[in-house]
Amino acid sequence: MSFTLPELPYAKMALAPHMSEETLNYHYGKHHNAYVTNLNNLIKETKFEKMTLEEIILSSEGPVFNNAAQIWNHTFFWNSLSPNGGGEATGKVAELITKKWGSFEAFKEAFTKSAVSNFGAGWTWLALNKAGELEVVNTSNAQTPITTGHKPLITVDIWEHAYYIDYRNERPKFINAFWALVNWDFANKNL
């Protein structure tokens, strides 16, 4: 099996002014695409060649894991955003957020603090744990909550390549822009 770069769920200019077409050209077109190319080269004529992306993530380590997980994480991130997104959570996700944090504002503050303080490169996720409760989960590098039995609902990419063009390495400003794009419909579908 050969993997291909998944199509974006919107046009590259659709997230402006919060995320520019230039950022999408680099982040999606170069970084995300490089993970696809690298994984295809790494799995050629190996036991991973016939596996799904999730199977590779759950059974690999090192460069194979890193590239497979980054493909999965980035695809999930693009779907966590929408040009029609933003605002407060809706549906069942909103109910679970209120149950856990008391209010959307308290959740947003906790998620933002977690994303801003997540050391180095990685991801911040809203995920459902094994007990069926929401958690804000930070992962480093290519790590993903699916390896720990969590069910991701949304994520924000905090690698510098996600925001260095538009926000000049100012992660807090990028996280603020994320809130204008977050796709609550996608989060609810993931429940």
pTM of the model: 0.97
The pLDDT assigned to 1 comes to 72
168: left (phi over 0), alpha (psi -120 to 50) or beta: left
In CATH, what is the architecture of 21-79?
Answer: Orthogonal Bundle (1.10)
CA 46/CA 62 separation, integer angstroms: 14
- Answer positive or negative: Cα dihedral of 80, 86, 87, 90: negative
Query: Could you give the CA distance from residue 80 to residue 10 in angstroms, rounded to a whole number?
Result: 12
Report whether 26 contacts 161 (CB < 8 A).
Answer: yes
pLDDT tens string, the chain, 191 residues long: the values are 799 999 999 999 999 999 999 999 999 999 999 999 999 999 999 999 999 999 999 999 999 999 999 999 999 999 999 999 999 999 999 999 999 999 999 999 999 999 999 999 999 999 999 999 999 999 999 999 999 999 999 999 999 988 999 999 899 999 999 999 999 999 999 99
- Within 10 A of 84 (CB to CB), how many other CB atoms are there? 10
* Domain segments of the chain as ranges: 21-79, 91-190
Name the phi and psi angles at 21, rounded to 5: -60, -35
The topology (CATH level 3) of 91-190 is minor pseudopilin epsh fold (3.55.40)
Q: Which residues pair with 136 in a beta bridge?
A: 126
pLDDT of residue 19: 97
